[in-house]
Structure 1
């Protein structure tokens, strides 16, 4: 045991020395990030905004007592053009933007474009002698990598804090429309929004956007937008002043092991297709309901959120390869993305008790009282017992059952008839909140 502890300590020291050897030493000969920070700090700016009422804030922003004043941070990404990348919520509803450089010079900022869906914006200043930050590759990050957050917390000016990457691909917080955050424990506070997250080489890997915790309190959980996502957004903001996103024309949900078994496919990850919009790029490419999308242009897709983010990174008119699994195997389909998806079609609808795996569920004719009337054909779930298998699996009153084991079910009678054939597993297609998804009842 003593030998084991000694070996562990030796490994820890070796890791630290390896890291230290990749950094320069301070005047006292100790490992230091000072040389790297001396290079990158001039690329980080402080932003002061006068805003009309209604400005939003994801990072519990913004260190200013006047509700029409916000402070934040930004990163110079193009020295020649004077482009500064920051958070949308820092400059939202801005009537005046003031940029303060590292050398304390101040300039008026002009909003070039913004994208609320990713919480990113580009501001331009008319200045010479600027220093742009080198862009890194956020796709090369690993959990445990050291990173440094640089920004303007509480309006104090450029401040650097050290931490590690705690997680990758974080999302589902409802902060932005497309969430694929880098999580870090590098300290972030109000005013850090729009600032830089850099690796130990001084390369930009993320734009700091949010913290999790009580108001104005850092608890070591901060989030940054990966630079690989920001890069595509910036190109469109500079060109169009907005982001024009391509659409494939499908509704998706996360795949899992139950769906893998029910659909007889060879993957438990990916984005399960619950709906294909007629006439959409997906429909023309041959994507089918119950396909599982596992890749876009060779990049893997593990979740529905990852799929939406990847597709949204392409502009309308882009042609992409969509890799799907279905019962017959894996297929690569080519689709040209559209600017908008078209709304799904169709009408029609009775009342009866469910049977078998749908016991304790009351089904009803789909009538005009339902938001789904005229949009889909199926059986409305009127009510159910909390003890029913359907309730435990996630079926809800108000759902419309549109398919049973991938067979269309246009009425309560059709649902009951198809359900009777199921033994220990039932795959339901349900329409909820304007989209079709699947649930498995066991």
Structure 2
């Protein structure tokens, strides 16, 4: 499980750290408070698993380290393409090849402590244009490189992984370099899933589907059971199927097949049903495959998107059921007070373990990330008093609220 993160120069965060992470973590705060940036930094750090050699020239000779490049996540998505595509145009990355083996990287930031290096990508089968960051595990062999990148030696003692990024569009004011460290056990890259609103337009890769058929018993039936619970349907009245997308046979589309009606594509339903279905399908797989040695990670942005308040509560209940007692860590970023209230009620009735759940209020000013944390008792006190933990400074909400007895 990840315990903390410390960021320098990633997206809108010039500097900042967060700690006290638990199994369930909820991020709230104003717009541009750093919630998405922290989630994306976690995602990129945790989807690096392709070992390659990094070669750099120092005054005392040539140095070599084993570093990790990002390849795919749970669904087979390229993590950089997923995150970089939201914030950049994939322009010139200042990369060049020497033959088919070595990639030379010239870091755009002239003040970066790491300026030029080579990556031996011959055996990685990675596209050069998708290589914009690397990670290294904090070990004795990597001590010199970790110190070179991070500089603050004292804070490295608890770090488990260090990340260095040179894609300008993902760095603070496009300066051209960013670094961050995490402590704790990172999840397995192949058990990491970033779920945002774009999932509604996504499809299941056929390679993922084939893997699931071999490794996850009753997958389609389990999707149907949880989907039925969310939308108050009879789980015995329909089945879930997957068929190739027209014109794109490498992608599959979910279908709801009632007993007494023709089957319908999940994309023929409303966005709320589509979003829930496309979260459930990979999450059930993660819960089946994650192990203590290769844990899972769900990063879930704005669960409230497309959801009626009643449906939102049921969706949260099913997600908690799926991941409960599993080696899966969850991070949620939300703007929704009802979601916060549902989480608080789950803490009251022990559906969520109070010792393993934390809410964080994030703020970002002049590039400095700050956060405050709320446990169960603090949340109950604030919500009972009608105080909004999302934005309590100089804000009078247009509606008054009070936490209901559960």
What is the TM-score normalised by the length of structure 1?
0.23
Higher helix share: 2
Identify the structure with bigger relative contact order (alpha carbons < 8 Å, sequence gap 6+): 2
What is the TM-score normalised by the length of structure 2?
0.25
